[in-house]
Structure 1
Amino acid sequence: MRKPLLVIAAVVLATSLSAHAQNTGNIRYKWYDAQGLMHFSDSLTAEAMKYGYDLVNDRGLVVQRVPRQLNAAERAAANKLAAEQAAQQRAAQERANADSQMLAAYPDEESYQISLHQALDMIDQQIHTSQINLRSQEKALTDLLGRAADLENAKSPVPKPLADSLTQQRNVVAGLRDTLRHQQALRAETVQQQAGQLAHYREVRAAQERAAK
């Protein structure tokens, strides 16, 4: 399939060059080979296409530059670079859209800070609920430990149901403590993120105000 495509491309290129030649006078091809030697030709050669060439008019002026053909690795690298650049452009456009939506939703800093405080308040409520639950479960664990201690002091064995309850209650308390630690870490992380978000909001709003002047 590649040979017919190359033939079509060569025909299109030849047609284009022919029309170009009619507008600029006689056209010659100039290129440099692998040793850096200059060559001229009245017709387009495979070597010229391989190394890239210049179209030169009858006055010796370069009227068009045609880059050399890329090999497979270079084409892959070029495609990768193009994909990365396209991704960067999409990301930049998405950021611009998000900034526009942010300014539309929060036209002043006070309204934006209120939204940040609301997000933080939700986390604080979760922490408060976890703290209440933890205190309640710690009290239940303390009661069970007291019962087990009384039995041990009386030289009586701790019954299996009580031992199982102690194990289960310890797991409940440990789980609640772990949840509370995660919520407190989330709050600290959110405070840090919100500081950056507020700084970004101020930058975007300042840029909008400069553009409006």
Structure 2
Amino acid sequence: MNRFLPKLTGALLLSCALLAGAQDKAGKKLFCWNENGRKVCGDALPASAVDSAREELSGSSGLRIGEVGRALNDEERRAHETEQKRLKAEADAAEAARRRDAALAESYGSEEELRRAYRIRYDLIDESIKSSRLALDNLHQSLRRMLEQAGERELSGKPVAKPMADNIRQQRDSYLELQEAYAHQQREREAIDQQLQEAVARYREMKAPKTDAAPAGTNAPTRG
């Protein structure tokens, strides 16, 4: 019996070695990548292929188990970062809109309350527009009188005094600045029109049952 022990021991050692080899092979990966236009595979990546796109294969079955894209260059990385920022900005805007709509539905008990809040804004901007229009008319009349006086002096052969010329220039600059402010106020009122329409549409959507039909159009207050 003793003479069979060495053979048995050797067989067991061989089996263990084969099993360990099979397990080691099963745990390994094979990598395949393109190098100079041809496909190269190996069980280790050379330094030249670390940034290359590659497939990962099972060491035991040879089946594809994964994939790694190539490393991005500086320009592609910047483009990727820009795209990620854009997507985040869109997600943030969508979340802000969701919170805004929720606050809109909670802040006003009825559509009339919502419209009443906007009427306050309309009253304020309309009063500003009215004041700017009146100031523009007054400045225009004053500037016209000064220009007429300067023209009369020139026609009579008299020079336009420097204080008068400076005053005309200052009045003209003030008139142009006020014109721009007046135009800005008009654009602001148009923006409030748009905001009211959007707010009413969102309010109706938040309050209405999901099966309701689309809301009808909204009307903004008209200027007096």
Q: Report the secondary structure of 1:70's partner residue.
A: coil
Query: Matches of residues 115-130 of structure 1 in structure 2 within 5 Å?
Result: 115-130=117-132
Identify if the C-alpha distance between structure 1 residues 63 and 174 changes in structure 2 by more than 3 Å, giving closer, same or farther.
closer
Q: Deviations over 1:125-147 (max 9, x none)?
A: 2233345556667788899999x
Alignment length, in residue pairs?
184
Using the TM superposition, give the Cα deviation of residue 54 of structure 1 relative to its aligned residue in structure 2, in angstroms. Answer: 1.7
Aligned match of 1:79: 81
Q: Deviations over 1:94-113 (max 9, x none)?
A: 33333333333334332222
Structure 2: state its 5+ residue gaps: 1-22, 212-224
Query: Matches of residues 1-213 of structure 1 in structure 2 within 5 Å?
Result: 25-49=26-50, 50-131=52-133, 168=167, 175=174, 179=178, 181-182=179-180, 184-209=182-207
RMSD between superposed Cα atoms in Å: 4.4
Q: Report the secondary structure of 2:71's partner residue.
A: coil
Query: Residues 143 and 171 of structure 2 are in contact (CA less than 8 Å); yes or no, is this contact kept in structure 1?
Result: no
Distance in 1, Cα, partners of 2:77 & 2:141: 69
Identify if the C-alpha distance between structure 1 residues 125 and 66 changes in structure 2 by more than 3 Å, giving closer, same or farther.
same
Tell me the amino acid that sits aligned with residue 192 of structure 1.
Answer: E
Query: Residues 105 and 203 of structure 2 are in contact (CA less than 8 Å); yes or no, is this contact kept in structure 1?
Result: yes
Q: Choose between structure 1 and 2 for higher RCO, CA contacts under 8 A separated by at least 6 residues.
A: 2
Distance in 2, Cα, partners of 1:41 & 1:69: 19
Query: Residues 54 and 63 of structure 1 are in contact (CA less than 8 Å); yes or no, is this contact kept in structure 2?
Result: yes
Identify if the C-alpha distance between structure 1 residues 77 and 165 changes in structure 2 by more than 3 Å, giving closer, same or farther.
closer
Give the alignment's TM-score, normalised by structure 2.
Answer: 0.56
Using the TM superposition, give the Cα deviation of residue 116 of structure 1 relative to its aligned residue in structure 2, in angstroms. Answer: 2.3
Using the TM superposition, give the Cα deviation of residue 33 of structure 1 relative to its aligned residue in structure 2, in angstroms. Answer: 1.0
- Give the fraction of aligned pairs with identical amino acids, expressed as a percent: 19
Max Rg structure: 2
Structure 1: state its 5+ residue gaps: 1-21
Identify if the C-alpha distance between structure 1 residues 129 and 194 changes in structure 2 by more than 3 Å, giving closer, same or farther.
closer
Distance in 2, Cα, partners of 1:167 & 1:74: 58
User: Which structure shows the bigger proportion of residues in helix conformation?
Assistant: 1
Distance in 2, Cα, partners of 1:35 & 1:61: 24
